[in-house]
Amino acid sequence: SQEFEVSMTRTVREEFLSAFKEEMEISSRLEKVQKAMESAVEDLELMGRLLDEFDLLQRRAQSVDLDEVDGKVSKLMPDLGFSPEDSERLVASFSGGWQMRMSLGKILLQEPDLLLLDEPTNHIDLDTIEWLEGYLQKQEVPMVIISHDRAFLDKLCTKIVETEMGVARTFEGNYS
């Protein structure tokens, strides 16, 4: 379950990279082991343990495609409307609509099998709603959208499930 949450103290790039928890932990540990190796040149026993850990971490990095993380973020940012210069700006300097784009981007970077969007147009301006409609129309991932925004549902939905008093009915087509 992902929520539209962002950390105001991170840069935009750091916020997107936070979607890759395991990869970032491996990267951080690799840096620490490298630094420890630089100061352990006199201690052969410690150096041996550090080399073993470094080797293990590098294999884990390969298995999670750590090398591709930066590229995925760099590719997604312009799709979401961010410029290269935005990458080092603080999340706090962006409006709620732009922060929502960051949150959606973090979810998409995790390559979900299904997007569940609960009232995605609440608390965002018209420009951002129009952007979101266009962006979601281009996505291949199946979506379940819960919304009271009929125009939004009309633009995106191909099947409607209405629930009333515990009974679900399915209709082909958009909301209208």
Q: Return the percentage of the chain with pLDDT > 70, whole number.
A: 98
Residues of CATH 3.40.50.300 domain(s) within the chain?
A: 112-176
Lookup: tokens for 155: 């633009």
Mean pLDDT of the chain: 92
Query: Model's pTM, two decimal places?
Result: 0.76
CATH fold label, 112-176: Rossmann fold (3.40.50)
pLDDT: which is higher, 53 or 96 = 53
* 85-141: pLDDT as tens digits: 999 999 999 988 899 889 989 988 998 999 999 998 887 788 888 888 998 999 899
- The residues with which 169 forms a beta bridge, in sequence order, are 162
Distance CA 95, CA 89 (A): 12
Look up tokens 């209709």; give the residue.
171
Give the pLDDT band of residue 159 (cuts 50, 70, 90). Answer: very high
- Measure the CA angle with vertex 58, ends 55 and 59; round to 5°: 90
pLDDT score of 1 more than 70: no
Lookup: tokens for 117: 């969007």
pLDDT score of 3 more than 90: no
